[in-house]
Amino acid sequence: MNIRTVSTQPFLDQKPGTSGLRKQVSQFQTHHYLENFTQSIFDSLENCHGQTLVLGGDGRFYNRQAIQIILKIAAANGFKRVLVGQGGILSTPAVSCIIRKYQAFGGIVLSASHNPGGPNGDFGIKYNISNGGPAPEKVTDAIYARTKTIDAYRILESNDLDLDRLGTTLLGDTTVDVVDSVVDYSQLMESLFDFDRIHELLTSGQFSACIDSLHAVTGPYARSIFEQRLGAPVGTVQNGIPLEDFGGGHPDPNLVYAHDLVDRLYGADAPDFGAASDGDGDRNMILGRRFFVTPSDSLAVLAANATLVPGYRNGLAGIARSMPTSQASDRVARKLGIDAYETPTGWKFFGNLLDVGKATLCGEESFGTGSNHIREKDGLWAVLFWLNIVAVRQQSVETIVQSHWQEYGRNYYSRHDYESVNGERANALMDQLQSNLSSLSGQTIAHYTVKYADNFSYTDPVDGSFSANQGVRIGFTDGSRIVFRLSGTGTQGATLRLYLESYEPNSNRHHLDPQVALTDLITIAEQLAQIRSFTGMDVPTVIT
Ligand code: VG1
Ligand code: CO
């Protein structure tokens, strides 16, 4: 066995963001770039000798090459066993599932999620710990610190492995198991949901669904679960073969980027149910016939109906949401008499709450929902959850959401993204907002009175870790909110996210277009933040 120690120099831009390290493919292809980061991960772990690692990615350009490199570095660092998805394919939730099932030490997911792929697109790498969840900040901070001082990495000299053939190979002293990408995950789904009832629904001839994988990682999972196992007609899954460039699209499940699906659900002969997933399969969009379910509402509806689903029959311990996510789920928690938690953006903040059993369901406004079944958000899990509810209630998606609003009131919600903004100007906008915060409290703007204006910070109730600067929020006395933050997942310039929420208890006013219902708040946000003049943009690039 020939292990080489290669001298290297640090790259100073390897700071993980909201969800791992994301850069343009060309950056990852720079000599030593991926090697440095991988070695920095392993150097930051207690001791990887004799441990098991899970490895896979969303199939984007450079996935296979990266896997070969990481396998050889893992072997040189003493891992006893690596489980790698066939063809290099594992969705983010599947990695989480496999880490937990086989009690692995951790896992590496290769994905830049919703960012476009291909030679001119983005690539990413994230590390998950032994609970199956994203590394918490103390781990990503340690990895980042290591990337700034690293001077060598270790790599095994060996031929590339065949990633397409299932089975076991020795790589130096390390056992590499190429495993089926889907089977463990689909068994877990079957343990949670009423597959018989969903099968009945999908084969009844009375109900049709369209699942769009956007040419990304969920294709094999969706075809296996919905078409093969649950009997939905072939063709129910569209864009179901993972492509290295996602067919040139953004694998982002929202009304803008999943337009093929949206056209079908709003067209003639629309199916009853539509869903799309993102690049790495951890997020989802749910549509009914000519009806869009806001992700924040989706979390609230799943929570309110959880006991209809076998895996949650005994009820929920608590519900956690990220700060910008609407407060709709808090209302459900109140009614159920369970705790509601508010965390910073990013799934890593839910890990402790799930581990100690404080939260059962978690969600983010960015189309991510999940539960304690794994430690990641989970796109197809949410689709199955919805189908299970529809199958039990025998009602349309629209009826289910509308009756939810009747019972709880409607939290109108929208997110406005300003993408590819000049970084300095975006920071200047946030600085300016920040400096005005202290004078805002108590002020009346239009017919809104400011109740609080601050920059959100969070102390983890389980381990006490503290995270500051998680977004500027302005709350009004009637429960409405405006939130501003800069994205931590982009690779070019900055993305400003503006989140808007207002509450409407009166069911005669539940039919409005959210952009209309939120008009006043949109105007106030512009007044407070001077978005137009700072960004030079008149309108957002994406509205969800
Ligand atoms: C975005 C979303 C956040 C999500 C993150 C990773 O982060 O807002 O809710 O957890 O993406 O999701 P940001 O920092 O760009 O707002 V994924 O599916 O890209 O792993
Ligand atoms: Co994702």
Q: What is residue 247's predicted lDDT score, i.e. its pLDDT?
A: 93
Contact partners, residue 254, CB within 8 Å, separation at least 6: 285, 367, 542, 544
Residue 114 Cα to ligand 2 midpoint, Å, equals: 6
The ligand 1 atom nearest the CA atom of 346: 10
- Give the whole-angstrom CA distance, residue 352 versus residue 397: 32
pLDDT-derived band at 126 (thresholds 50, 70, 90) equals very high
Q: Note the pLDDT tens digit of each residue in 472-517.
A: 999 999 999 999 999 987 777 899 999 999 999 999 999 999 999 9
| Token pair belonging to 30 | 């720079």
The whole-angstrom separation of Cα 46 and Cα 436 is: 44
Quick one: DSSP state of residue 227? I
| Nearest CA owner, ligand 1 atom 2 | 366
State the DSSP code for 275: E
Residue nearest to atom 13 of ligand 1 (CA): 487
Q: What number does the ligand 1 atom closest to the CA of 345 have?
A: 9
Give the residue, by CA position, lying nearest to ligand 1 atom 3.
346
Residue with the smallest CA separation from ligand 1 atom 6 is 19
Together in a domain, 245 and 330: yes
Domain end marker among 373, 408, 443 = 408
Under the banding of pLDDT at 50, 70 and 90, the label for residue 526 is very high
Between the two ends of the chain, the Cα-to-Cα distance in Å is: 53
349 and 210 both lie in a single domain: yes
**Is the pLDDT confidence value at 131 over 90?**
yes
> Closest ligand 1 atom, CA of 279?
18
**pLDDT at res. 95:** 98
Looking at 180, 198, 213, the residue that finishes a domain is 180
pLDDT band at 19 (very low <50, low <70, confident <90, very high): confident
Residue 424 contacts by C-beta under 8 Å, 6 or more apart in sequence? none
Residues 417-474: pLDDT tens digits? 999 999 999 999 999 999 998 898 888 988 899 999 999 999 999 999 999 999 999 9
The ligand that comes nearest to the alpha carbon of residue 349 is: 1
Residue 501 φ/ψ, nearest 5 degrees: -150, 135
E strand or H helix at 71: helix 63-76
Task: For residues 206 and 333, state if they share a domain.
Answer: yes
Q: Are 362 and 454 contained in the same domain?
A: no
Nearest to 288 by CA among 257, 260, 264, 253: 264
Average pLDDT of the chain, as a whole number: 95
Q: State pLDDT tens for residues 306-319.
A: 999 999 999 999 99
| 256 pLDDT more than 90 | no
Total count of domains within the chain: 3
The pLDDT of 221-233, averaged and rounded, is 97
Same domain, residue pair 162 and 138: yes
- How remote is the CA of residue 89 from the centroid of ligand 1, in Å? 21
Residue-level pLDDT at 262: 96
Mutate which of 489, 497, 498 for ligand 1 pocket (most atoms within 8 A of beta carbon)? 489
The residues pairing with 453 across neighbouring beta strands, listed in sequence order, are 474
Give the chain's largest Cα–Cα span.
Answer: 73
| Judgement on whether residues 479 and 337 belong to the same structural domain of the protein | no
For residue 58, the ligand closest to its alpha carbon is 2
Token pair of 514, please? 């959210």
Beta-carbon contacts of residue 288 (< 8 Å; ≥ 6 apart): 265, 272, 273, 274, 396, 397, 398, 401
Q: What mean pLDDT comes out for the span 376-385? A: 98
Nearest bound ligand to the CA of residue 22: 1
User: Which atom of ligand 1 has the smallest separation from the CA of 364?
Assistant: 9
Closest ligand 1 atom to the C-alpha of 113?
19
Residues of the domain holding 111: 3-180
Same domain, 468 and 419: yes
- Same-domain check for residues 257 and 390: yes
Is residue 174 domain-shared with residue 257, that is, in the same domain? no
Please name the residue whose Cα sits nearest to atom 1 of ligand 1: 489
pLDDT confidence tier of residue 291, bands split at 50, 70 and 90:
very high
CATH number at residue 263: 3.40.120.10
What pLDDT does 47 receive? Answer: 86
How far does residue 30's CA lie from ligand 2's centre (Å)?
Answer: 24
- As annotated, the active-site residues are 113
DSSP string, 171-225: ETTEEEEEE-SSHHHHHHHHHHS-HHHHHHHHHSSS--EEEE-TTSTHHHHHIII
- The angle that helices 92-101 and 379-393 make with each other, rounded to 10 degrees, is 90
Give the residue-averaged pLDDT of 249-273: 93
CATH number at residue 451: 3.30.310.50
Tell me the CA–centroid distance for residue 126 and ligand 1, in Å: 13
Query: Residue 260, Cβ neighbours under 10 Å: how many?
Result: 16
Residues 445 and 316 in one domain: no
Cα of 406 from ligand 1 centre, angstroms: 30
pLDDT of residue 127: 97
What are 157's two structure tokens?
A: 């000299």
Q: How far is the CA of 366 from the centre of ligand 1 (A)?
A: 7
Ligand closest to CA 124? 1
Q: Is the pLDDT of residue 519 over 90?
A: yes
Task: For residue 318, give the nearest of 365, 372, 366 by alpha carbon.
Answer: 372
Residues with CB under 6 A from ligand 1: 18-19, 113-114, 278, 282-283, 322, 345-347, 364, 366, 368, 487-489, 497
- Residues 462 and 333 grouped into a single domain: no
Short-list 449, 436, 386, 401, CA closest to 197: 386
pLDDT at residue 492 in the model = 79
Rounded to the nearest angstrom, the gap between the alpha carbon of residue 157 and the centroid of all alpha carbons in its chain is: 36
Pick the atom of ligand 1 nearest to 488's CA. Answer: 14
Ligand 2 centroid, distance to 19 Cα (angstroms): 9
Q: Give the mutation target among 109, 257, 345, 541 for probing the ligand 1 site: most ligand atoms within 8 A of CB.
A: 345
CA atoms of 64 and 144, how far apart (whole Å): 24
Ligand 2 center from residue 253 Cα (angstroms)? 10
Compute the distance between CA of residue 330 and CA of residue 404 in angstroms, rounded to an integer.
13
Could you tell me which of 439, 433, 476 has the C-alpha nearest to residue 455?
A: 433
Among protein residues, the one whose CA lies closest to atom 11 of ligand 1:
489
Ligand sitting nearest the alpha carbon of 345: 1
Closest CA to 454 of 413, 485, 497: 485
Distance from the alpha carbon of residue 111 to the mean position of ligand 2, in angstroms: 8
Of 138, 163, 180, the one marking the end of a domain is 180
Q: ∠ CA 247-250-251 to the nearest 5 degrees?
A: 85
**Banded model confidence at residue 48, pLDDT cuts 50, 70, 90:** confident
Note whether 96 and 149 are same-domain residues: yes
Strands 339-343 and 361-364: unpaired
- pLDDT confidence of residue 395: 97
Instruction: Identify the H or E element spanning 26.
Output: helix 25-28
Q: Ligand 1: which atom is nearest the Cα of residue 92? A: 20
User: Atom 8 in ligand 1: which residue has the minimum CA distance?
Assistant: 366
CA atoms within 13 A on the CB side of 521: 28
Nearest CA to ligand 1 atom 16: 487
Measured distance CA(88)–CA(438) in Å, rounded:
51
Residue bearing the CA closest to ligand 1, atom 10: 346
pLDDT in the model for residue 1: 72
